[in-house]
Structure 1
Amino acid sequence: MKQFVIFIVIGILLVSVGVGCIQDQKTSTTSLTEEEKQGILWMREEEKLARDVYLTLYEKWHLPIFNNIAESEQTHMDAVKSLIDKYALEDPVIDEVGKFNNPELQELYNQLVEKGSKSVEDALIVGAMIEELDIVDLQKWISKTDKQDIIGVYENLMKGSRNHLRSFVSNLKNYGVTYEPQYLSKEEYEKIINSPMESGT
């Protein structure tokens, strides 16, 4: 009888510990600052913007680079989605190409597609612009958090964006176009372009 009582007590203690752990996990999901939340939601839609622009321009020009990088942008979207799931945020993504919750990103998408539809060269310039903007925004959001999981995702996305920027600039050279940075400083842009492709993206 004593052993039976002991087993019951142990069982109750284990359940209590388990509930406590679950409560701790739930608490951690609400520990984001407003800027951290804003950054995650912004980057989720910004990565979608990149994907959607590239899908649209691929339909227009049938250049493999747009299809290939669109696939990479989908993995970027998935990476940010993992943060949304982890921190129990509401996903802002509308499951339709070219549609966005954020009006600023909606307007930017419209402008980029319009510019990229003028010529192949303009389309490649748009690609380089998007990757530049991605890098600048990721740097900004990294500066506003100290959470290593968020920083890790953002830094990996930046590697991908640097590689994509190199690819677009290289393709532009094949068309006789020298790309001029629109968002990055000339120094930072040159440092990226003159360095090799990065792995682990």
Structure 2
Amino acid sequence: MRNFLSTLFFLSLFLSLASCEKNGPIDDQQGNLTVSLATIQQSVTATPKETLEEAELARILFIREEEKLAYDVYKTMFDKYGVNIFQNIPNSELSHMEAMLTIIRKYGLLDPMDTNPRGIFKDSTLQALYNQLVSQGNTSVLSAYQVGALIEELDIHDLNKSLALTNNQDVRIVYDFLNKGSRNHLRSFYKNIKKANGSYTPIYISQIEFDAIVNSEMEKF
């Protein structure tokens, strides 16, 4: 399954980059994800192992599966609406899942994703959230954009919480990588919400933090 996910990741990147060359810049400017992920993986491998507390271990497994939630929801929304943002951003989510898998393998942890197909999660909270968000996103394309924004601000909130729990350099490298991507995704979804004449009020992060993110430029890796 891990080899399959890796193959799927690089195939998706190839198709995305080919599309970019043909049709111009894509909505979600993430830079060269292949190079970025490889750099992160090399940094994690080169960094010495450190002791992980139980709370840190739990957060690593949770974040790994939370990234799957984002990927699964976006793929489901693309199947329904066929809009570019739900095709482009999942490529980045694959890089996030692969980055977390690098940490999981380094510390010999049991991958919570295992062979679970789309929409199936080990964590019951994430399972309930997936069901809720897909139902909400199915009502309209604007609702789907709003679901995307909610997922990304939740990711930012949870990554900041996870960063506060660990001093391990390798883990922090990965969390920072994911956080930057989530901020870029939030900018993209909010842009689409405004284009659709919609509005969005953050739930998991403050309005001040939200405004600072969406009113700033895309971050480069």
**Which bracket does the TM-score occupy, shorter chain normalised?**
0.7 to 0.9
1:68 aligns with 2:88: yes
Partner of 2:193: 172
- For residue 159 of structure 1, the aligned residue among 160, 180, 200 is 180
- Cα 1:30–1:150 shift into 2, 3 Å: closer
Is 2:50–2:168's contact at 8 Å kept on the other side of the alignment?
no
CA offset at residue 30 of structure 1? 8.1
Q: Secondary structure at the match of 2:165?
A: coil
- For residue 146 of structure 2, the aligned residue among 125, 129, 143 is 125
1:188 aligns with 2:209: yes
Partner of 1:81: 101
Aligned residues: 173
Partner of 1:48: 68
Is 2:137–2:147's contact at 8 Å kept on the other side of the alignment?
yes
Is 1:30–1:87's contact at 8 Å kept on the other side of the alignment?
no
CA offset at residue 95 of structure 1? 3.3
Distance in 2 between the 1:165 and 1:32 partners? 30
CA-based RMSD: 1.2
Q: Secondary structure at the match of 1:143?
A: helix
Partner of 1:18: none
CA offset at residue 83 of structure 1? 0.3
Q: Provide Cα deviations, 1:65-123, integer angstroms capped at 9, x if missing partner.
A: 01111111011000000000000000000430101011110000000000000000100
1:161 is matched by which residue type in structure 2? S
Partner of 1:101: 122
> Alignment identity in percent?
50
1:59 aligns with 2:79: yes
Is 2:133–2:147's contact at 8 Å kept on the other side of the alignment?
yes
- Cα 1:63–1:182 shift into 2, 3 Å: same
Whose radius of gyration is greater, 1 or 2?
Answer: 1
Is 1:29–1:88's contact at 8 Å kept on the other side of the alignment?
no
CA offset at residue 167 of structure 1? 0.1
Is 2:67–2:93's contact at 8 Å kept on the other side of the alignment?
yes
1:66 is matched by which residue type in structure 2? F
> Unaligned stretches of 5+ in structure 2?
1-47
Distance in 1 between the 2:76 and 2:157 partners? 23
Q: Secondary structure at the match of 1:161?
A: helix
1:75 is matched by which residue type in structure 2? S
Is 1:125–1:172's contact at 8 Å kept on the other side of the alignment?
yes
- Cα 1:135–1:145 shift into 2, 3 Å: same
- For residue 136 of structure 1, the aligned residue among 157, 175, 182 is 157
CA offset at residue 29 of structure 1? 6.1
